[in-house]
Amino acid sequence: MKIWQSLKLTACLAAAAIVSLASAQVRAAAIDVKVDVPTLRCIQTSTAGEGKTDDIYLLVSGVAGGKAFTAQIPDGQTLKSSPKEMPIEDKSAVTLWEGKLDEGQFVVVTATLMAGSKADGKAYFEKKAAADKAVEALNAKTIDEDGVDKLRKELNKASVEFFKGMDKLYPKGKGDTYVGSFDVIVANIGGDVVKRIVPVGLVTGEHYGIKPKRYTKIKYTRENVLMKDASGQWYEAQLEPVNLEEDRIRVKALEVEETVKGDEKVRNVTDYLFDVRVFKGKEATKWLLNGDHPGPSIVHDYWDYAE
């Protein structure tokens, strides 16, 4: 081989090695991810009666990088909540999970809203961990985009069954009350954030109408969310599933229950609304609604998940 041919071959091999190394570095690049709740609105309290307040807290659990985690927010305490007293707002945004995800890694976060003052999630975390172990897709070490949707479906199926049984874990009238729950899946695929948010959906009752029911859904609110204008005056508004900037998805948790007092049936409605964000680095990612179910009116429309 001539010297110039040898030098050319050496240069080509070196260039190929550099390209290969650069590609490996791109594939291996970790991304910073954060899942947070900047706002939690109380539309109607779990505690029956006009002018009442709730004590609320969040139970957060999941799997990140193959390892399970749990958190209670606030730790061992509660937050005061009413239509005019937001338990969580932008200045006190709550982080559900924050960390780095390597290529192919994913995190699953389940957030559950509770009303009550005991603020003890030990039994819940134990039973939720046992339920999560049965979700085969959660055991994967890495994931691709098809795997994200497989996980979404398997996890939601398991979540519906688990949360149908919450009244056994927290019996009505004997302590704290389950309000609603949703799952967030975030994966690093090719250096990009691939995400899904999946409300648990309907766990009791029927989708439409005013009969007793309990659900957590992505949907429009009624025109009954108390908001404050620039002058400090309160007004009622309807909020959409996604905000104008499309960087917040809204998840609505509602329960309609009926009790009998004397000869009368008494209805109580619990209604809360989460804003949820997923960050890649310092930038909040955008949301797109999926799996639409049109209803008899706009307030009955709902979506299975968002990405």
Name 69's Cβ contacts closer than 8 Å, sequence gap at least 6: 61, 62, 63, 97
Domain boundaries, the chain: 30-306
Q: DSSP string of 52-121?
A: --EEEEEEEEEEETTEEEEEEESTT--EEEBTTB-SB-GGG-EEEEEEEE-TT-EEEEEEEEEESS----
22 pLDDT higher than 90: no
Measured in whole angstroms, the distance separating CA 182 from the mean position of its chain's CA atoms is: 4
| Model pLDDT, residue 43 | 97
| Model pLDDT, residue 275 | 98
Tokens 């008899």 -> residue: 296
| Number of CB atoms found within 10 A of residue 247's CB | 17
Query: What are 69-111's pLDDT values in tens digits?
Result: 999 999 989 999 999 999 999 999 999 999 999 999 999 999 9
